[in-house]
């Protein structure tokens, strides 16, 4: 029996990716997709890659009916303003905005500059990164989205952080233009965006809050998990993709075999994390170019000899593992489906 799914706020890039995945999902029927601006238009008029795959038309959010699972893809701040209404429409909800990613109202106020409008709901949402929260997601009715940059950093550093080996990190991220969303702006105007290598968050990126909560806080057998995190984000001339180069200052030098052991122990059975560290070849390190359209995160590293510096590199598609793909992975766990259902596309090469 197929479950019904609805997407609230489906005209953006993330909504389009969700629709693409749900239309191919073996256990899901996409029954509703909302957009105020596009109400009445066919889905393929906004997401042309879906032409011939569905005859659905956009409806207004006010017309949304009940469904088994609801994906909220609205701009930041909107889902939390109406969470009581959305929770009455579905048994399970995955919110892809930043509204429910943090557990702490104080941390939310610090990073988003305002009080959370539905702070009582924060503890009810499970952070939507299955690699960290798989057991909780299996019993969850509510899951948050994940920040694409936070996901790249979290998955790059988790084995080291959980072992209490990190003293400090400088995480440098290069990101594609789709991270800015589907709405145009001065920075997305072609003469300004083409050829760009533009720092837009040299410090103070909001995704640091998620990294702090997921890597440095919470119960764990090793309590010495806190470290200094410095993070910079730069726009480059790509449409999709995040490349994280994390310069990790360790508390002691690690040999390569020790790093392999840490990463294999944590990620050896993960379906969507691949360790990429070959001795030679063009693709011996992670590269977001080969991950377009896939739910994989590739992780690799290089040790600086005779120092405590370890460079960890991670790559992912920001619209997939950084958004829609992780959301489907969460839904699969929440619904009792195979975790990989609808997510096995390996990416494109060349593209």
CA distance 204 to 200: 10
Euclidean distance between CA atoms 257 and 280, whole angstroms: 18
Q: Any bridge partners for residue 71, and if so which?
A: 7, 94
Report the C-alpha gap between 299 and 264 in whole angstroms: 11
From the candidates 148, 244, 297, 330, give the one annotated as an active-site residue: 148
Strands 28-33 and 3-8: parallel
Sequence-separated contacts (24+) of 40-49 with Cβ below 8 Å: 43/10, 43/19, 46/11, 46/16, 47/15, 47/16, 47/19, 47/20, 49/16, 49/20
Question: What are the backbone angles phi and psi of residue 99, rounded to the nearest 5°?
Answer: -65, -35
Q: Residue 207 and residue 213: Cα distance in Å, rounded?
A: 10
In angstroms, the CA 276 to CA 292 distance is 16
Residue 148: active-site member: yes
Catalytic residues, which ones?
A: 148
């Amino acid at each position: 029996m197929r479950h019904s799914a609805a997407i609230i706020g489906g005209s953006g890039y993330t909504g389009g990716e969700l629709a693409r995945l749900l239309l191919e999902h073996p256990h899901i029927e996409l029954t509703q997709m909302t957009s105020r601006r596009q109400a009445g238009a066919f889905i393929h008029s906004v997401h042309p890659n879906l032409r011939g795959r569905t005859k659905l038309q956009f409806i207004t959010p006010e017309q949304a009916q009940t469904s088994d699972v609801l994906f909220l893809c609205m701009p930041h701040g909107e889902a939390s303003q109406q969470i009581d209404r959305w929770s009455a429409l579905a048994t399970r909800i995955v919110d892809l905005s930043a509204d429910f990613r943090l557990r702490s109202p104080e941390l939310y106020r610090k990073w988003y500059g305002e009080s959370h409008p539905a702070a009582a709901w924060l503890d009810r949402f499970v952070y939507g990164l299955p690699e960290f929260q798989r057991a909780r997601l299996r019993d969850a009715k509510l899951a948050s989205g994940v920040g694409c940059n936070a996901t790249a950093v979290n998955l790059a550093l988790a084995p080291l952080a959980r072992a209490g080996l990190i003293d400090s990190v400088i995480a440098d991220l290069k990101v594609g233009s789709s991270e800015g969303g589907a709405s145009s702006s001065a920075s997305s105007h072609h003469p300004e965006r083409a050829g760009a290598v533009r720092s837009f968050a040299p410090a103070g990126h909001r995704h640091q809050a998620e990294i702090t909560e997921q890597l440095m806080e919470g119960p764990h057998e090793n309590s010495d998990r806190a470290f200094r995190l410095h993070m910079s984000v730069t726009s480059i001339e790509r449409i999709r993709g995040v490349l994280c180069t994390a310069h990790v200052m360790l508390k002691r030098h690690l040999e390569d075999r020790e790093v392999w052991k840490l990463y294999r122990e944590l990620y050896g059975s993960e379906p969507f994390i691949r360790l990429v560290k070959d001795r030679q070849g063009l693709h011996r390190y992670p590269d977001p170019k080969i991950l377009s359209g896939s739910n994989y995160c590739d992780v690799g590293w290089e040790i600086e000899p005779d120092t405590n510096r370890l460079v960890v590199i991670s790559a992912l598609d920001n619209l997939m593992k950084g958004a829609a793909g992780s959301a489907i992975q969460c839904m699969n766990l929440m619904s009792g489906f195979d975790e990989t259902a609808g997510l096995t596309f390996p990416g494109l090469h060349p593209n």
